[in-house]
Chains A and B, each alone.
Chain A
Amino acid sequence: MTVREDHWAAAMRAERRGDAAAYEVLLREIAVMLRRLIRSRLARAGLGVEETEDVVQEILIGLHGKRHTWDAARPFMPWLFTITRYKFIDASRRLSREAKRRVNLTMEEMTEIFEAPIEDPDRTLSDIDRYLADLPQGQRQVVRALGVDGATVRATAEQLQTSEGSVRVSYHRALRRLMAKSQRENAP
């Protein structure tokens, strides 16, 4: 702890003399420490740990912008932790505000959900037929057997009088084709 204190305080003083290399090493070391600290704090606060890197960057920018407020005659760690605490509180307030907005369900949204047409299972089936119709004969048979009827690969291979390997290959080709088609149709 005191080793790190002395080491980091020395790097902060080096920054004031314009030593960019020492300052860069310092910021990297602080970032490693912050990444661990912030990740665990976010998890404990029930906020998304995927925001860790953003929060770490906010703290780095904050300490960089306010680095002149550190008194070189005083310990560096208390200064760093005060800044970190402030920036973390700031970020966690923003994150929980955003989380609230995401889960907020308004009356209008409720009404929309209830009034939305219930999906017709028959229509979904005919959709499958429509998609499958575009596939070559062999692939269509494989997809129908594996994907719709739920048969095993071996049973399908026996039925179509081919190898299990070629059933798998056709199945993957067909899926790729269907995926591409559905993306084309759903694109805005």
Chain B
Amino acid sequence: MVSTLNTNDLIGSLARQAGSGRVAGPRGFNTVLIVAALCSFTISVALVLAVFGVGPDFAAGHHAPLIYKIVSMLMLSAGGLLLASRAALPGSGRLTLMALLPAAVLLAFRAATDQSGLSVLGAETISVPGCILAILIASVVPLTILIGVLRLGASTRPALAGAIAGMLAGALGAAAYSLACKNDGGMFVAIWYPLAVLLVAALGAVIARRALAW
């Protein structure tokens, strides 16, 4: 009986806070999420240009491979944004892998039609680890910002929400890094970019198990 009374007291004190919540609601949350993604992408681009400089494609006005890289990673980011919003807002829709399909199709299309004959392993021996490491570095700030934004929501599956935040951060970091990347092979981009994104997703999942619990 005592605890029932306590629950009534609790309800009374919660009810007195009516109307004091974040009035912006889910729409406000989505706005914050998109602005945060844009900001972290900008920071990532600035970091990439400062650390790695502009890649040869960009300097030579040779844009096609660069555009494929950036567009596919931005498409992946768009899918990630949709999933991140759903993961943070309970009852707002299914977490469907279909959101990632457009980016996957574009990467596969580029890999299948690439006639350049460039190696899967890139131009230099350190190309693969170098690119993966660079994408990881470019994704740190986006991941931190995005996990912070997801804390404003209510993730009911924290690790999964963190993996999605990591995927989004990795895609933004990879899009930013394409400006500096020297490797244009279709297979190279289709294999190693997504792998780097997956690593950031795994990192996000690990961090979020605690960071997104509430």
Contact = CB atoms under 8 A, between A and B. Distances in A.
Nearest to B26: A71
Interface of B: 3-4, 6-8, 10-12, 14-29, 88-92, 153-154, 156-157, 213-214
B21 A68 contact: yes
Given A53-B6, A56-B7, A79-B91, A67 B16 contact: no
| Chain B interface, DSSP helix/strand/loop, else mixed | loop
Given A24-B11, A83-B154, A71 B25 contact: yes
Contacts of B27: 71
Nearest to B20: A18
Contact of B14 (A21, A54, A61, A69): A61
Contacts of A82: 90-91, 156
A57 B10 CA distance: 8
Contacts, number: 104
Contact of A18 (B14, B18, B157, B214): B18
A135 interface: no
A53 B89 CA distance: 26
| Chain A interface, DSSP helix/strand/loop, else mixed | helix
B92 A71 contact: yes
Given A16-B23, A60-B10, A74-B91, 11 more contacts: A15-B21, A16-B19, A16-B25, A28-B8, A57-B7, A60-B7, A62-B214, A66-B153, A71-B26, A71-B27, A79-B91
Given A69-B88, A75-B91, A31 B11 contact: yes
Contacts of A15: 18-19, 21
A79 B25 CA distance: 13
A64 B157 CA distance: 18
A79 B90 contact: yes
A70 interface: yes
Contacts of B6: 53, 57
Given A54-B3, A74-B91, A68 B15 contact: no
Interface in A21-75: 21-24, 27-28, 31, 53-54, 56-57, 60-62, 64-72, 74-75
A99 interface: no
Contact of A20 (B4, B15, B90, B156): B15
